[in-house]
Structure 1
């Protein structure tokens, strides 16, 4: 077998895991009104289905790098797919909101490892400029999943039952497990250091408390509860610094943040993804609750964005080669933010051509944005820091997904008294502005170090 063949197999395995994880993050979005009706709860109450999934991933992702080193990427990746498949089967058999949330926790436990371990396998096998191209291929699956999720969810709900939206993962997962056993090498590190449970607990507490502060339900004590949670999050983050300095093998070494583009990319990813992650959740709700679309119709409306995102992948390398990461990310971020704010114009009187144009712009720019952000954040890490940096990066991604859903749903709830149309308009403009703010972060990238090398 040629060298290219195993590399291609690794890419397909990582892409398959990425697709399952991101598909399941959003496939329930179109089905939420139907799930709420079936379970006898309000549509916004079903946010817990998404939040349980993303919070579990954010909580467990930090352990992915150590688990891969201790037990081997092959074994950990296999177990993560197995857990994901089991969780999917439990979701399909759920008959109450509590059962569904519990099953999503099991899914999240498996999903927490799918993306970081898959990316780590690719990072260790493919280096240099080829790694950026590899990430672009993998991120196609990551972008198609969130966009096709609402479409597939709408079809299953309208034609069959919402219980079936989770079964799509089963055949993909079974194929993935067979591919892992055949193509992934055994790469456990002998004498791997002990796991930093205290550091993991502090950072997990930081992420979860911050997420819950945003997700705090609307009531008289919302500001007080959110303030306490934010203070707890900050305290946990600050406590980690002296802990990491004095521990021989901390969960994430502080030297990680001496790589300037890793720090900038990490923050830029968090801010940008909060806005863009809200879109797959908000658009189906807008189309169904406000414009009266059927689940399938609302899902089909997102296909132009999926197609545009796939096509735009081929533009990334030449654009970065010509303009550099810094200029590309700044201007592309602006386009992503503007397109998100453009969804505020969707109404019963909006021309279809305008809606499709905005969807195409968002799909193309957001697809390139994810691939470029992934590359610029991880490209400068050494082999020693690759595992830990990859885990921290994935944890931030999961956090951003949950924050996007929480922020979007929270804003709609807050402004719903002004009417659904006004609430959705304010929400889309707000999350668009959040995405635009990440352009200010990307201004601090060190462009000279990011120019792609000649092939």
Structure 2
């Protein structure tokens, strides 16, 4: 087999088990909660713990690979992920599950970025596009398989098998990595340990405190204390990063208009979208009384829509341009997200699947556009820093989405006087996260009309597109 393709498939195995695990667990939250003796809404902590670990450790993945070698780091990351999977399967309390998911996230934070780094450093440029295309396959296929598989296991077996099925593929990945992944090393630059401590502890404490305010795991005073300490640590990192010559995460990149729009606007959009894998299975199972399997067989179609949109996204961007696609599509995707709250227990399943399918298309187009426009003005020397900051903010926004979605559900229950799991409360929760997501349209609308024109194939390099109708800019 072609070495580049073989390397891509090895990394793809790691990406597949990570994505499949994340989508399968969302479908099984009610079953897990019942077994652990806690409320399903409390398991938002298990979801946010994983995403938080990704946000904290992704920025140091490149340094770790250069310091200890790419193969050693990649194998260690797989091993940590598998240990986290075993710990998840053995969990008997909410606290144990949250800790195990954080351990899983530590492995995931190194596993895929380091694997992608190996590809970029070893595969010839003439073969790189083909190798990276192999890498995208599991990212598209796993979300299709994950929800039905998680539902099937939770309905007819024990939810713990969701984590145990990671072991065979993970062990195969370890063997293949040992056999075929080169142990690449690069000169190690000094790590910004102060920045890592401030950003890591700040993010961890702030998000844990915010997610725990619903009196899950710790008391409200402790949660508030963690939140305040975390915000202080994050503020300290901003002060530190703006003065350090080589900060862990270079916040000065946010002066670039397209990068700022992609990161900050993308954060608002992802907060809304990040709540969906948490709220939707709860609504279908707790609100409508569906089994986990029936729920998974409905929600997987969203990933099918996302896969279809990948095939035409480039053509859409070339036809309409980044700015128009980003702000219009943000409103459309957010409206459909808010519309999930209009589903009722007697809504035909075909209608639900059709809405989720179309929603997946809009969501995928937005993600593709955001991921591209973010790097339109970033020079090659700062691309690694830009990727780290963007990746960290993506995971942080998804974690915030889960937490905000849970709070919206609880607040709706308090106002309606019904239990939070009552079907009527989900409409308000989806409206809340959909509104937050829609706010991203204003950030995108403020982009220049020719933003990313070269990347979209709408202008020759070095030539700008002028706005032919400045008086009618919203309709251009």
Question: Normalising TM by the smaller chain, what interval?
Answer: 0.7 to 0.9
Cα distance in 2 for residues equivalent to 1:194 and 1:86: 29
Segment of structure 1 superposing worse, 22-31 or 431-440: 22-31
Moved more, 223-232 or 285-294: 223-232
Any conservation in 2 of the 1:30–1:295 contact (CA below 8 Å)?
yes
Equivalent in the alignment of 1:212: 208
The alignment yields a C-alpha RMSD, in angstroms, of: 3.2
Match of residue 267 from structure 1: 264
Q: Check the 8 A contact 2:5/2:134 in 1, yes or no.
A: no
Question: Contact 2:59/2:248 (CA < 8 Å) preserved in 1?
Answer: yes
User: What residue is the counterpart of 2:114 in the other structure?
Assistant: 117
Counterparts in 2 of 1:95 and 1:79: CA distance versus 1, 3 Å: same
Q: CA shift at 1:133, angstroms? A: 9.1
Q: CA deviation at 1:301?
A: 0.7
Shift in CA distance, 242/51, structure 1 to aligned 2, threshold 3 Å: closer
Distance 1:449 1:144 in 2: 29
Measured after TM superposition, the shift of residue 28 of structure 1 is: 1.7
Match of residue 240 from structure 2: 243
Distance 2:367 2:63 in 1: 25
Deviation, structure 1 residue 166: 0.7
Contact 2:83 2:104 in 1 (8 A): yes
When structure 1 is superposed on structure 2, of 76-85 and 225-234 the one drifting more is: 225-234
Partner in structure 2 of residue 29 of structure 1:
26
Per the TM alignment, residue 378 of structure 1 is displaced from its structure 2 partner at its CA by 3.7
The equivalent residue for 2:195 is 199
Q: 1:27 to 1:379 in 2, by over 3 A?
A: farther
Is the 8 Å Cα contact of residues 50 and 105 (structure 2) preserved in structure 1? yes
**Residue 329 of structure 2 is aligned to residue 332 of structure 1:** yes
**Is 2:250–2:386's contact at 8 Å kept on the other side of the alignment?**
no
Say whether 1:429 aligns with 2:425: no
Deviation at 1:17, TM superposition (A): 3.0
Are 2:13 and 1:16 equivalent residues in the alignment?
A: yes
**Equivalent residue number for residue 88 of structure 1:** 85
Give the Cα–Cα distance (whole angstroms) in 2 for the partners of residues 229 and 38 of structure 1: 28
Match of 1:307 among 304, 309, 320: 304
Q: What's the offset of the Cα at 1:109?
A: 1.2
Post-superposition offset of 1:159: 1.7
Distance 2:453 2:231 in 1: 32
Secondary structure, in 3 states, of the residue corresponding to 2:233? helix
Change (3 A) 1:244 1:101: closer
User: Greater CA deviation, 72-81 or 396-405?
Assistant: 72-81
Measure how far apart 1:198 and its partner are: 0.9
Report the CA distance shift for 1:415/1:449 in structure 2 as closer, same or farther (over 3 A): closer
Unaligned runs of 5+ in 1: none
Secondary structure in structure 1 of the residue aligned to 2:249:
coil
Return 376-385 or 338-347, whichever deviates more.
376-385
Q: Would the alpha carbon gap of residues 196 and 160 (structure 1) be closer, same or farther in structure 2, given more than 3 Å must change?
A: same
| Residue 254 to residue 34, structure 1, CA distance change in 2 (3 Å) | closer
CA displacement at 1:315 relative to structure 2: 0.7
Cα distance in 2 for partners of 1:12, 1:344 equals: 39
Match of 1:443 among 445, 458, 468: 445
Instruction: Provide the C-alpha distance between the structure 1 equivalents of 2:310 and 2:130, rounded to a whole number of angstroms.
Output: 9
- Deviates further, 117-126 or 33-42: 117-126
- Which structure would you say has the larger Rg? 2
- Looking at structure 2, the residues matched to 390 and 267 of structure 1 have their Cα atoms a distance apart, in angstroms, of 14
1:38 alignment partner in structure 2: 35
What's the counterpart of residue 169 of structure 2?
172
Distance 1:433 1:40, change over 3 A: same
Whole-Å separation in 2 of the counterparts to 1:129 and 1:263: 31
Correspondence for 1:367 among 359, 364, 368: 364
Contact 1:216-1:226 within 8 A present in 2 as well = yes
User: Among residues 383, 386, 410, which one is paired with 1:386 in the alignment?
Assistant: 383
How far residue 298 of structure 1 moved from its aligned partner, in angstroms, is 0.8
Which moves more between the two structures, 16-25 or 404-413? 16-25
- How far has the Cα of 1:14 moved from its partner? 4.2
Segments of structure 2 that go 5 or more residues without pairing to the other structure are 462-476
Change (3 A) 1:126 1:314: farther
Moved more, 58-67 or 15-24: 15-24
- The 3-state SS of whatever aligns with 2:311 is helix
Aligned length: 450
Structure with more relative contact order (C-alpha pairs < 8 Å, separation 6 or more): 1
2:160 pairs with one of 154, 163, 172: 163
Per the normalisation by structure 2, the TM-score is: 0.84
Q: 1:281, CA displacement in angstroms?
A: 1.2
Superposed displacement of residue 185, structure 1:
4.0
Q: Normalising by structure 1, report the TM-score.
A: 0.87
